[in-house]
Amino acid sequence: MKVTVSRGSLGNHRSKLLLVPLFEKGKQPFQTKAMKGEVSKLYLLYSGYKGNEMILGVGMGKKPTLEHVRAAFGLASKKVKDLKIANFSVLFQKIPGHADSAAAVAMMEGLLLGAYEFDTYKTKKMSLNTCTFLYPGSLTEEVNRTTAIAESVNMVRYMANENADVMTTTKIASIAKEIAKKNRLKIQILEKQQLQKLGMNLHLGVSAGSRYPPKLIIIHYRGNPKSKETTALIGKGITFDSGGLNLKPSGYIETMKQDMTGAASVLGIIQAVARLRLKVNLTVLAPTCENSIGSGAYKPGDIIRSYSGKTVEIENTDAEGRLILADAIAYAEKHLKPSQIITMGTLTGAAAIIFGEHVTPIMGNGKIKKPLVDASLAIHDRMWELPLYKEYKDAMKGDMSDLKNIGTSGRDAGTLKCGAFLAAFAEKTPFLHVDLGGTAWADKPHGYTPKFATGAGVRAFIECFRRLSRR
């Protein structure tokens, strides 16, 4: 959907459908007894108004936050699709307590994110074409920015929703190449042979049962050449997580095409950061492979020498994400010497036991921690810190090896033990880990967040880099 801004007033504007924010309090053009403006309620009027065929009142409630605005407009965009109207307009109204441009961005964000639907396999598709924003000023920067961010989030959603045998390691690499080409970024793709030469044995081990080749994708963006600081952001790219020989049971395996969300997210983030020309230095790494079963698969009980030199006992082949990330962390530390390393991905189901679908847990000491949490809360892509205490690190120590991949105390503190395992591989570099295991996938839609892949965390990172860029 393309958003265009028109300064023209309502007096000379004609549309098939006009969206109008309605408040529970205060003066406004369309309030009737039946149209109370309750928050996130939609009110459809078939009778025209000043030449507009239909009106859709979008309830804002009494004192809307920007999140209320985003959510209500997210629902409104779905309603527009239900009505099969591809071209529609929005009559901007001031939102008390918020700058006009911020309120307009929230409306656009709700529409652009809310209209997303995974319809690749739907025979009948309905997509929105243009949205004309009636606004008394210019919004060029805001429209470009909001479009870039929403396109990245929607790309991540698409990649995670797509079939695992379509969104293969090769396909992810080709998407990465396209992003690099469009934005003139340097890209390296380490193929299986190179991973073997380097000795990235954890990554190779996880991929051993699959017919798809493992790859390590690396893209560099330097938006602040004067600064020596570079963030390495690593995303988990398991194209399908069967659990390996510790096969996942029914009820757990069905959504595991989402297990490359971390890789998709870092690609989405660097794409938006580059499009917005942010003044930060960012290198993203996407280790990708499939965790499959087969006669060649790695096995419980294997002890593997990782790229860092540390050995790992595989207690369970289903704790595979931390293994591919561990080799990528060691690679980043050795070859890129970043000022901080961040890992992100769908690492543990336990993340959902802690926060459900609502909050993404983060852990570690990376410099970006506070600005990231602040940014995430400000735009409602919420993250919250968990403590990486020594006890969790001790739990991951090996008996026959340096480390184990599950550690002691069974399922207790699964998310933290995973974070502690990863932290052991960032030997010299400040490190932060972001676990999307609870937030990457939703069983029901909410506001501007669709059912299935959500794109959680992507907006928070982009907002954080935007804030760091302004300093």
In this chain, which of 109, 259, 357, 463 binds Zn ion, going by CB under 5 A? Answer: 259
C-alpha span between 30 and 28 (Å, rounded): 6
In this chain, which of 239, 271, 346, 360 binds ligand BES, going by CB under 6 A? Answer: 346
**CB of 242 or CB of 340, closer to Zn ion:** 242
Tell me the CA distances in angstroms from 41 to 108, 149, 384, 453, one per residue in order: 18, 26, 30, 25
Task: Please report how close the Cβ of residue 243 comes to Zn ion at its closest, in angstroms.
Answer: 6
Tell me: does residue 319 bind ligand BES (CB under 6 A): yes
> Which residue matches tokens 């010299």?
428
Task: Please report how close the Cβ of residue 399 comes to ligand BES at its closest, in angstroms.
Answer: 17
DSSP string across 317-334: TT--HHHHHHHHHHHIII
Residues within window 379-418 making contact with ligand BES, judged by CB under 6 A: 406, 414
Q: Contact, 23 vs 98, CB < 8 A? A: no
One-letter amino acid of 311: T
**Only segment of 87-95, 311-319, 335-343, 423-431 that touches ligand BES (CB under 6 A):** 311-319
Phi, psi of 67 (to 5 degrees): -70, -40
Tell me: does residue 320 bind ligand BES (CB under 6 A): yes
In this chain, which of 201, 231, 271, 348 binds ligand BES, going by CB under 6 A? Answer: 348
Tally Cβ neighbours within 10 Å of residue 170: 14
CA nearest 81: which of 29, 25, 119, 39? 119
Q: Sign of dihedral through CA atoms 153, 158, 164, 167?
A: negative
Q: Binding string to ligand BES for residues 255 to 284, with x set by CB under 6 A, is what?
A: ----x-------------------------
Q: How many residues bind Zn ion (CB under 5 A)?
A: 6
Among ligand BES, Zn ion, none, the one that 437 touches (CB under a kind-dependent 5 to 8 A) is ligand BES
**Only segment of 8-16, 83-91, 171-179, 254-262 that touches Zn ion (CB under 5 A):** 254-262
Tell me: does residue 349 bind ligand BES (CB under 6 A): yes
Tell me: does residue 437 bind ligand BES (CB under 6 A): yes
Q: Say which residues have a Cβ less than 8 Å from residue 163's Cβ, sequence separation at least 6.
A: 257
DSSP string across 376-396: HHHTT--EEE----HHHHHHT
Binding site for ligand BES (CB under 6 A): 241, 259, 316, 318-321, 346-350, 406, 414, 437
Binding site for Zn ion (CB under 5 A): 238, 241, 259, 318, 320-321
